[in-house]
Amino acid sequence: MDKIKIHALRCGQVRTTKYLPFNPDNKALMTVAGFLVPQKDWAWSPVYCYYIEHLNGKVLIDTAWSRRMSPDGVEDKKAEIRELGFMLYTLNQGYTPKGEAIDEQLDALGVKTSELDYVVLTHLDCDHACGLHQVADAKRIIVSEDEMKYANTRTPKNIMRYKKRWWKDVPISQFAFNGHEGPFYESFDLFGDGSIQLIHIPGHCAGLVCVKITGKDGKFVLLTSDGAYSHKNWIDLVLPGIHADRKKQLESLEWIREMSMNSNCVESLLTHDPNVKPHIVELDV
């Protein structure tokens, strides 16, 4: 194989207020979360996972929703509340059409979850981590130390945001940043050859990582997870609504902007961008 292939896999939908992706006026968390927000100001967005076929191994980025939230492939309020808890359900709802859960998407590509060399969790929010049990037999599942520490810090906000049961029975390893890429000069080199860098972009949460995949001649693809929700965020520097640290969120967004506009950047892809369609990006190696 002389190519790195990056598959953009659509894994269901998430519904939030319009203030979650774009919150330029820094509206209060209650508003971002939907309290007294009229129906017309809510919208559905996709949830994407990325599967990377690489010379060094098979890598999955994020796991999206659990099939348990929509057993029949349609919205199921009771099942969603069971998985998310009532408070988190009021902030975001989600479902996964049949065939779009992460294990179902991989199966359609002929990839067994047990063949995955790495599952990288960019962070531990529900729409990235509650599908974890569907790929639990992967060889290695990793998340940054910063994110696990943050998720285990039981502030009222985090108790609502993170449910330990999503990863309780899954063998997750934590990695410490050991490189110096990114807005805070903190990164982790997945294969030790610089081809896949997990770059710390805190703000949305404490341990969020962006994935930078580099091919021949320095051409790269950026997977920015929830560092932004669409290109509009980084083009106009409009901050999203959920944050652990708004100042760091802005510094991370400025870095995403700079990297996305770099002439070597082939694509800058997000998790919830309505403009992204399922497709494959290839990098020469």
Site pattern 100..129 for Zn ion (x: CB under 5 A)? ---------------------------x--
Phi, psi of 8 (to 5 degrees): -90, 110
Least distance between Zn ion and beta carbon 14 (Å): 7
CB 227 within 8 A of CB 201: yes
Give the interface segment with Zn ion, choosing from 92-100, 182-190, 211-219, 265-273 (CB under 5 A): 265-273
Q: Does 273 contact Zn ion by CB under 5 A?
A: no
Sole binder of Zn ion in the list 226, 233, 243, 259 (CB under 5 A): 226
**Tokens matching residue 213:** 């995949």
> What is the identity of the amino acid at 250?
L
C-beta of 100 vs 127, nearer to Zn ion: 127
C-beta of 127 vs 146, nearer to Zn ion: 127
Least distance between Zn ion and beta carbon 12 (Å): 11
CB 210 within 8 A of CB 225: yes
User: Residue for token digits 């002389």?
Assistant: 2
C-beta of 131 vs 182, nearer to Zn ion: 131
Give the interface segment with Zn ion, choosing from 171-179, 202-210, 225-233, 249-257 (CB under 5 A): 225-233
CB 204 within 8 A of CB 226: yes
Give the interface segment with Zn ion, choosing from 89-97, 141-149, 167-175, 220-228 (CB under 5 A): 220-228
Least distance between Zn ion and beta carbon 64 (Å): 9
C-beta of 13 vs 195, nearer to Zn ion: 13
Give the interface segment with Zn ion, choosing from 30-38, 210-218, 219-227, 244-252 (CB under 5 A): 219-227
Chain residues that interact with Zn ion, rule: CB under 5 A: 127, 226, 271
